[in-house]
Amino acid sequence: MELYKSLYENTKNIISELESEKQYNVISLIPKLDQKGHELLFFLIRMFHNQQSHDVSFQLPYQSSTNAIKKDIEFDLSKFPAQLQHMIHMFVKMHYEYLSYETLRK
């Protein structure tokens, strides 16, 4: 929860969408995250949606869909609110750097 609050506070004044270069960076790094990173990413998306809509539902937010073949969830970053795009960018970059550091440390 602290992670969410920190990312939310650091991006609350951002109104512009994430630049295309940063969007590409996020999209290319997400597959490289570990399972914990994917779980936290989904948590951030879910928390933001629930907080903004004040509605708890079991539907996937922001026109997301499931891929039965790959057994995963597919998101279109451009359909997310601008603040959430920046939160995701910050988180993915931070978590990927953490994973890289841990790999080098071992």
Q: 10 in a domain, yes or no?
A: yes
Q: 97 in a domain, yes or no?
A: yes
The CA distance from 40 to 7, in Å, is 12
Q: 106 in a domain, yes or no?
A: no
Q: Rounded to 5 degrees, what are φ and ψ at 74?
A: -110, 130
The CA distance from 89 to 32, in Å, is 14
**What is the structure's pLDDT at 57?**
64
Q: 72 in a domain, yes or no?
A: yes
Parent domain of 19: 2-101
- pLDDT tens digits, the chain, 106 residues: what are they? 899 999 999 999 999 999 999 999 999 999 999 999 999 998 998 889 888 887 666 666 666 666 655 566 677 888 889 999 999 999 999 999 999 999 888 7
**Beta-bridge mates of residue 65:** 74
Say if residues 21 and 92 touch (Cβ distance below 8 Å).
no
Say if residues 1 and 68 touch (Cβ distance below 8 Å).
no
Amino acid code (one letter) for 100: S
The CA distance from 24 to 20, in Å, is 6
Task: Give the chain's domain count.
Answer: 1
How is residue 98 written in tokens? 């953490």
